[in-house]
Amino acid sequence: MSKIVKQEMMGMNGDTACAYAVKQCNPEVVAAYPITPQTIIVEVFSEYVANGEVTTEFIPVESEHSAMSTSIGAAAAGARAYTASASQGLALMYEMLYIASGLRLPIVMTCVNRALSAPINIHGDHSDAMGARDSGWIQLYCENSQEAYDTVIQAWRIAEHKDVLLPVMVNIDGFILSHTLENVAVLPDDAVKKFIGEKKIPVVKKPSGELTPYVLHPDYPVSMGAIDLQDYYFEHKRQQAEAMKNALKVIKEVGEEYGELTGRRYGLIDAYMMDDAEIAIIVMGSTAGTAKYAADLMREKGVKAGVLRVRSFRPFPRDDIVKTLSKVKACAVLDRSISFGSYGGPLFTEIRSSFCYECEKPIIINYYYGLGGRDTPPNLLENVFSELKRIVETGKIGEEIRYLGLREDSIDSVNYKAELISFKDLNTGNIGGK
């Protein structure tokens, strides 16, 4: 299309791509605390500030809790506010995530997905963001650094849309995306500025009919964050549910408009060779790239394999997913986090329940994979496709919940179990037999 603007290719890792996008968006306030693997975002952005490339007020806060609190204060005062975090940092700001969304503040955050302690691990998985999946934030998961750049820019439009007004979390896989150099096509500064537009202030109507801007401004004495009891709290949560529902449409619209500008279209899901697929892998984040490669290899062998990448986990695009998978015979949902004690990972349970009352539905199995940055190479994903093929051929499902890339266990070993002794036994050295 002729409308596509000329873009420059830049070698960047995922973190830098995010920081670069934020620079072009030039938000009024960035408040962030460094944490591996997000640190580069904070460092690179600090350089932009030091070199006068942005007019942003950068606040190197003393914790992630304050990063989100400061973003809330800034957004409430009418500013665009951006932050970035990961893992323990996201966990520390957990309380404030709910407050940002409950106050309907369109904050944008990059979450560089990393495992949660203990044991401490700095590498990629989705445990951090999955812990925040009910926090009222829109959650978008990126496949590569290009998408990270593109999504940070789109995030403002989604967050600030009048039918949404919710914070957006842009998720990128720790190290695999954050620290890996990639060619990223970047828009000219003015094109980004034009795309995101001027920051608008929502105006709301009181039951009396009086209009009030929803912002902390001296001329309008609004009160935000009041105590909301049995009589109204539920109503406000209902409003949030509606905003999340509206976001389904807005994410698509913004992704389409961005596509017109850049040639890169985005939606709620990304279906790869799904039109005639008989077996499929459903996955989020960077592993989708590997899965697509594995699907290509299967296709070469004449197997009708496809990949469904879920880009938007919140809001959950239930209808799009059901439509895409309804003709598939068997599929495997890959979860990069464990909801301990749950029957399957968060993505799996949600997809399975989506099919509950559907007549046409695939066999759905679940794999946990990649925890703590465990590598998931193409051959493992080929194995998943082979297993799906076997299930289709034999009709035998076997284990529904499985682990991908976990070492084979020896059934004889019980070292993972414990015996119990009394505290006093420590003094006598009586800690049991061999």
Partner 1 sequence: MSVVKPKDLALTEERLAPGHRLCPGCGEPTTVKLVLKASDDPVIVCSATGCLEVSTSIYPYTSWNVPWIHSAFENAAATAAGVEAAIKALKRNGVYKYDKVNVLAVAGDGGTYDIGFQALSGAFERYHRIVYLLLDNEAYMNTGIQRSGGTPSYASTTTSPDGKVIPGKLQTKKQISRIMVEHEPAYVATISAAFWQDLIQKSKKAFAADGPAFLHSITPCPRGWRHADNLTIELCRLAVQTCIFPLWEAEKIDGKMVYKLSAPSKQIAKNPDKKKPVVEYLKLQGRYRHLFKPEEKTELINQIQEWVDTEWDIILERCGEK
Partner 2 sequence: MSEEKSWREIPLGGLTWLHSSEYKTGEWRSFRPVVDHNKCTRCMQCVIYCPDIAIKYKPDVNMIEINFDYCKGCGVCAEECPVHAITMVKEKE
CB of 209 to partner 2, least distance (A): 10
CB of 98 to partner 2, least distance (A): 12
> If binding is defined by CB under 8 A, does position 95 make contact with partner 1?
yes
- The region of 166-174, 175-183, 214-222, 353-361 touching partner 1 under the rule CB under 8 A is 214-222
> If binding is defined by CB under 8 A, does position 50 make contact with partner 1?
no
Torsion sign (Cα): 285, 288, 289, 291: positive
Report the phi/psi class of residue 370: left, alpha or beta, with left for phi > 0 and alpha for psi in -120 to 50.
left
Q: Which of 8, 62, 219, 231 binds partner 2 (CB under 8 A)?
A: 231
3-state secondary structure (DSSP) of residue 363: strand
- CB-CB contact of 151 with 170 (8 Å): yes
Alpha-helix runs per DSSP H in 64-198: 64-76, 87-92, 94-102, 127-131, 145-159, 189-196
Task: Name which of partner 2, partner 1, none residue 239 binds, using a CB cut-off of 5 to 8 Å depending on partner kind.
Answer: partner 2
How far does CA 60 lie from the centroid of its chain?
24
Residue whose token pair is 């951006």: 82
- CB-CB contact of 151 with 142 (8 Å): yes
- The region of 4-12, 217-225, 257-265, 386-394 touching partner 2 under the rule CB under 8 A is 217-225
Instruction: State which residue, 92 or 294, has the beta carbon closest to partner 1.
Output: 92
Q: Which of 47, 95, 228, 393 binds partner 2 (CB under 8 A)?
A: 228
Instruction: State which residue, 104 or 133, has the beta carbon closest to partner 2.
Output: 104
Q: Which of 21, 59, 177, 271 binds partner 1 (CB under 8 A)?
A: 59
> If binding is defined by CB under 8 A, does position 220 make contact with partner 1?
yes
Instruction: State which residue, 234 or 343, has the beta carbon closest to partner 2.
Output: 234
Those residues with Cβ within 8 angstroms of residue 217's Cβ, 6 or more apart along the chain or in another chain: 77, 78
- CB-CB contact of 81 with 53 (8 Å): no
> If binding is defined by CB under 8 A, does position 20 make contact with partner 2?
no
Q: Which of 49, 191, 216, 363 binds partner 1 (CB under 8 A)?
A: 216
Angle at alpha carbon of residue 297, lines to 292 and 303, rounded to 5°: 100
Task: Name which of partner 2, partner 1, none residue 104 binds, using a CB cut-off of 5 to 8 Å depending on partner kind.
Answer: partner 2
Tokens (6 digits) for 278: 């008989």
CB of 89 to partner 1, least distance (A): 14
Secondary structure, 3-state, 163-210? CCCCCEEEEEECCCCCCCCEEEEECCHHHHHHHHCCCCCCEEECCCCC
Q: Which of 80, 104, 126, 389 binds partner 2 (CB under 8 A)?
A: 104
Instruction: State which residue, 181 or 224, has the beta carbon closest to partner 1.
Output: 224
> If binding is defined by CB under 8 A, does position 363 make contact with partner 1?
no
Tokens (6 digits) for 234: 């539920």
- CB-CB contact of 209 with 159 (8 Å): no
How does strand 269-272 pair with strand 211-213? unpaired
Tokens (6 digits) for 200: 């608008």
CB of 151 to partner 1, least distance (A): 24
Task: Name which of partner 2, partner 1, none residue 214 binds, using a CB cut-off of 5 to 8 Å depending on partner kind.
Answer: partner 2
How far does CA 104 lie from the centroid of its chain?
19
Q: Which of 77, 181, 222, 426 binds partner 2 (CB under 8 A)?
A: 222
Cis peptide before 118, with omega less than 30 degrees from 0? Answer: yes
CB of 87 to partner 2, least distance (A): 29
Residues that bind partner 1 (CB under 8 A): 28-29, 31, 55-57, 59-63, 65-66, 69-79, 81, 95-96, 99, 103, 216-229, 231-232
Residues that bind partner 2 (CB under 8 A): 102-105, 165, 202, 204-208, 210, 212, 214, 222-226, 228, 231-232, 234-236, 238-239, 242-243
